[in-house]
Amino acid sequence: MNTLALPVSEPHGAGALHGMRCIVARDLRIALRRPADSAAVLFFFVIVVSLFPLGIGPEPELLRRMAPGIVWVAALLASMLSLARLFADDLSDGTLEQQLLSPTPLSLLVLGKAFAHWLCSGLPLALVSPLLALQFGLPSGAMGVLVVTLLLGTPVLSLVGAIGAALTVGVRGAGVLLSLLVLPLVIPVLIFGAGAVDASLVGAGVAGHFSLLGAMLVLALAGAPPAAAAALRIALE
């Protein structure tokens, strides 16, 4: 006996990216089959932002001054809504174990999941933000800056959020705990995101803000996936 006659297992040509693409495609397909989840995030964002003009009243200058902060805080809170389920669903149905045992490095799979999360939550928020900015009377230049800051900042929310989601996976009351963990970490994104739009409103340069947001994105891309992967390994033990 003991004559190995197993078929030869060739590693797939595309290597580790193959598994990452697979997880992105899978999560996007699930999101398309459950559109209510992504729509809930978008509606929450729209409603929260729209409540402020109603509450503050017709004071165009005050609304214009507050708009960047309001839109950014609403974007932060809306992103939190779907983060709690980033790994929780995979844990409950057993697919998280399969990800931990994949030949694709877990940090790449986490990166794929964060990317899919951003496509379903952060990107729609950024795309709808010009419409909301109209309520606050933002000039078109500031609207453009707002969109760019959201495009740079919301991926950071998904990536840093992935660390929080991994740390709280399987924990009761994970949603609240996740917000307590993640929101303080993303304060710099809020400051520089809203700050860029403020700077644009007063005619100052925004390149510095964009650079800092870009640097935060690069840092998050490099640091968040391995941190979240380590947290998942601990969580599943």
Partner 1 sequence: MVTPALQICDLHCVRGGRRVFDGLSLDIPEGRLLRVSGANGAGKTSLLRMICGLLLPARGEVLWRGQRIAALREDFHRQLIYLGHAAALKDDLSASENLVAAARLSGLDPGAAEVEAALASTGLRGHAHVPVRNLSQGQRRRVALARLVLGKASALWVLDEPFNALDAAASAWLLQLVSGQVRRGAIVVLTSHDADLSWPDTLPQLELAL
Which residues in 187-208 are b (16+ Cβ under 10 Å) and which e?
A: eebbebbbbbbbbbbeeeebee
Type of residue at 227: A
x-or-dash string of contact with partner 1, 12-51, rule CB under 8 A: x-----xx--xx-xx--xx--xx-----------------
Report the residue number, 143 or 229, with the smaller CB distance to partner 1: 229
Look up tokens 């495609």; give the residue.
25
**Residue 6, helix vs strand vs coil:** coil
- Give percent helix, percent strand, percent coil of the chain, each to the nearest 5: 80, 0, 20
Shortest separation between residue 17's beta carbon and partner 1, angstroms: 11
Instruction: Please tell me whether residue 85 binds partner 1 under the rule CB under 8 A.
Output: no
Q: Which stretch binds partner 1 (CB under 8 A): 44-52, 92-100, 140-148, 165-173?
A: 92-100
Report the residue number, 19 or 195, with the smaller CB distance to partner 1: 19
d(CA 183, CA 135) in angstroms, rounded, equals 26
Shortest separation between residue 66's beta carbon and partner 1, angstroms: 40
Token pair listed for 162: 């992935």
Report the residue number, 11 or 203, with the smaller CB distance to partner 1: 11
Phi-psi region at 139: left, alpha or beta (left = phi > 0; alpha = psi -120 to 50): beta
Instruction: Please tell me whether residue 172 binds partner 1 under the rule CB under 8 A.
Output: no
Nearest residue to 143 (alpha-carbon basis) of 154, 129, 155, 153: 129
d(CA 114, CA 158) in angstroms, rounded, equals 6
x-or-dash string of contact with partner 1, 99-138, rule CB under 8 A: xxxxxxx---x-----------------------------
Report the residue number, 59 or 93, with the smaller CB distance to partner 1: 93
CA dihedral 190, 44, 180, 176 (to 10 degrees): -170
Report the residue number, 15 or 188, with the smaller CB distance to partner 1: 15
Type of residue at 172: R
Shortest separation between residue 95's beta carbon and partner 1, angstroms: 5
Report the residue number, 79 or 104, with the smaller CB distance to partner 1: 104
Token pair listed for 2: 């003991």
Report the residue number, 101 or 202, with the smaller CB distance to partner 1: 101
Site of interaction with partner 1 (CB under 8 A)? 1-9, 11-12, 18-19, 22-23, 25-26, 29-30, 33-34, 92-95, 97-105, 109, 236-237
